[in-house]
Structure 1
Amino acid sequence: MKPGIHPEYRPVVFRDQAAGYAFLSRSTAESAQTVQWEDGRTYPVIDVEVSSASHPFYTGNSRVVDTAGRVERFNRRYQRRSSAD
């Protein structure tokens, strides 16, 4: 590998806010936020929306999604176009 062209590969904490779950891994991801980990050291933290702790595939829990509102918006949007033609 050429020196000086690759990002730094270092320990980073990934935090799933929905599940209250965090894990320490290695990454090149950048973050201005830091968190003190269980070992007493401070690491950059990346907040994620979904992880294995909160994803329905891994947890076996299904979530209710507001599909009715989406379908109504879709129908309203395309009814206007078809009536204008």
Structure 2
Amino acid sequence: MQQDKHPDYHPVVFRDRSAGYAFLTRSTATSEQTIEWDDGETYPVVDVEISSESHPFYTGKARTVDSEGRVARFERRYGGGQDTGGDGAA
């Protein structure tokens, strides 16, 4: 690895304020704010709006799109391979 070409890679705490959750990982992100972690060390802390603790996909609170209604509307409009019998064409 060439010197002075890569950013500093160091331990950083990412804190999700909406979920009240924080985790320690390694990153190139920097911050002026610091936090004392459980191990007694002080690390830079980066506040994030969303993480796996608050994201709807990971929490199981994701909304699903009514795809069946869209498919049914498409089939009514353009024919879905089945004869609906309403147009009289043969």
Count the aligned residue pairs: 63
3-state SS, counterpart of residue 8 of structure 2: coil
Please list every run of 5 or more consecutive structure 2 residues that lacks an aligned counterpart in the other structure.
64-90
- CA RMSD, Structure 1 to Structure 2 (Å): 1.3
Structure 1 or 2: more helix by fraction: 1
3-state SS, counterpart of residue 25 of structure 2: strand
Q: Which residue of 2 aligns with 1:42?
A: 42
After TM superposition, which residue ranges in structure 1, 4 or more long, deviate above 4 angstroms?
A: none
Superimposed CA distance per residue, residues 21-79 of structure 1 (whole angstroms, 9 cap, x where no aligned partner): 0000000111111000000100000100000000000001258xxxxxxxxxxxxxxxx
* 1:55 is aligned to 2:30: no
TM-score normalized by the length of structure 2: 0.66
Aligned-pair identity in percent equals: 68
TM-score normalized by the length of structure 1: 0.70
